[in-house]
Structure 1
């Protein structure tokens, strides 16, 4: 009888191939809950971006544009009442005692325009300063032309402070501040995400703040060089713009560092929401506050893009008038952000120390037993 055959010693045995995981398992492994949360967060930021920009810019409507009125006493009262009674309240008229005073109000940003009534003729004058926002000057002109036509009169428009030749439509201030704000929070974010960086403690936070101060100074000077000597857009205010740039960058960077130290990745999203999604369309760079919807008009000057745009524009064109509020806002973000960042790092250190003590105590008890 033949013996049962056995596998050849040199022939490898064949083992069954491992079973591949199903689609559901692969999907669960590839799309984690954290990844889903990040994608959802990105979608929400994207939709908020579209909503904010379209909401702010889709239908610019004048609301209470400040206008000075110069006319004989009885005529002035009638004109002011007529302007303030217009449907939708497009202007807020106030009587000025003379053309010189009205002109001064425009140049100090107390009003955006001045209507000068000619009692001896049929042609009146509208004084505007389009460097403060061409869209507002154009809107004020359109309103005046409509009213004058209804009264069988004519209007002559005098632009007493137009933008510089290198500043096109007066948008340089906005784009300069936009670059400073983005640079500030991006640099703070990169420092936090750099390879090998550890969670910020108090010492590391102080080092990062020091580095951000240096970056802010360099960024401010570089921006002033670009809009001054390079393109001649906002020339004649080099050191003032350099200082403003350093303040704007530090306000953005310190706030970003604080929110990221306190909230991590969520803090980065909050920075983008505040500075880009809400801050840019409400800044007054494209449409000044009197042309924006109420929500955007209300928040614009409380955020760094709006405060920075006002500070740059009024420094370059209006001798620094009406800039105190913007200076306070930017200083609050810069100083408050630095203090909050340091406080958040101290709080994280304290929590870590308490957690370490909590785990060490049971281990010590077990060793003693």
Structure 2
């Protein structure tokens, strides 16, 4: 007779839980990747209008009729004021109505998709009035990459880079100090290499190389530390949670390929609270807008960085004290 008895079969509860969990994961992935494409369109895109009150009201009403809730209109006192709003990243563009007709000021560097949309709207409006629209790109993309494809394409490598580094560090290294050192070193080197490619090879960015490299480093470090922290808290299942959070949700909801306001509400706003979205916005604002409106993405990335580091340190402290607690005899 064999000394080994057959192992007990798995109970039905984990089977059902696993099936439901995987189905929920698949549905979440479909929503995250499909929703931005299927429901893409203007959702509260901030724009400015420079025109007499009656004309501004008429334009605002026409925009609302054509795209309900699509635009958030701000009245500007002058074209200079409107252009400053564009440079400060408070609006994506402006419609200026004057004696010479309609002028559309855009910023293709903010979003080529939105710039094209505003140009089309302005051109159609001018045609209906029997006039010609003049389009002026206030903050353009680079001549080497006029469609801004390089920065958009960099969204996935940045997200995956931080995630893969976090996973590799988790699986291959032990010790909090070693993991922190490896993650920080990778973030600096990867940030420098990626920005070297985007700046000098692709020609996709026009701002300061060192500032964009610092922005990329912060984004990669925040992403990697998030993975390390979640894994230290949950164990190996934490890697799956981090993948869902960063790759399957954070990447498609980043809005980097179009604009956060082109995603359905509230997904665009949620995406900006995740590392990929915050990193993309920070790179765009540093790379084209002289660092305007960088406080929010920096704070978001710092929050994820601090959270991941805190979870990692807490896990290390917990593992040190747990054996000591278990050795205490019970009475």
Q: 1:45 to 1:168 in 2, by over 3 A?
A: farther
The alpha-carbon deviation at position 175 of structure 1 amounts to: 3.1
Q: Larger deviation: 248-257 or 43-52?
A: 43-52
- Match for residue 118 of structure 1 among 90, 98, 101: 98
Partner of 2:46: 66
In the alignment, is the contact (CA less than 8 A) between 1:106 and 1:112 conserved in 2?
A: yes
- Match for residue 208 of structure 1 among 179, 195, 201: 179
In the alignment, is the contact (CA less than 8 A) between 2:103 and 2:136 conserved in 1?
A: yes
TM-score by length of 1: 0.79
The alpha-carbon deviation at position 164 of structure 1 amounts to: 0.9
TM-score by length of 2: 0.87
Q: Rg larger in 1 or in 2?
A: 1
In the alignment, is the contact (CA less than 8 A) between 1:254 and 1:337 conserved in 2?
A: yes
Matched, 1:102 2:82: yes
Instruction: Determine helix, strand or coil for the equivalent of 1:66.
Output: strand
1:20-48 per-position Cα deviation (integer Å, ceiling 9, x unaligned): xxxxx89x69xx99899878766654443
Q: Number of matched residues?
A: 328
Counterpart CA distance in 1 for 2:312 and 2:270 is: 24
Partner of 1:155: 133
Counterpart CA distance in 2 for 1:280 and 1:286 is: 10
Instruction: Determine helix, strand or coil for the equivalent of 1:219.
Output: helix
Superposed, 1:17-36 pairs within 5 Å as none
Contiguous gaps of at least 5 residues in structure 2: none
- Match for residue 185 of structure 1 among 159, 163, 166: 163
1:42-80 per-position Cα deviation (integer Å, ceiling 9, x unaligned): 665444323211112113121222111112354334434
- Match for residue 307 of structure 1 among 278, 282, 287: 278
Partner of 1:355: 326
1:93-147 per-position Cα deviation (integer Å, ceiling 9, x unaligned): 221111111111112211111101123x5x3111111111111112222333444
In the alignment, is the contact (CA less than 8 A) between 1:280 and 1:306 conserved in 2?
A: yes
Q: CA RMSD in A?
A: 3.0
1:235-283 per-position Cα deviation (integer Å, ceiling 9, x unaligned): 5522112211211111011111010000012211111111111111111
Q: 1:140 to 1:263 in 2, by over 3 A?
A: same
Contiguous gaps of at least 5 residues in structure 1: 1-17, 19-24, 199-203
Partner of 2:30: 50
Counterpart CA distance in 1 for 2:168 and 2:193 is: 20
Counterpart CA distance in 1 for 2:92 and 2:27 is: 34
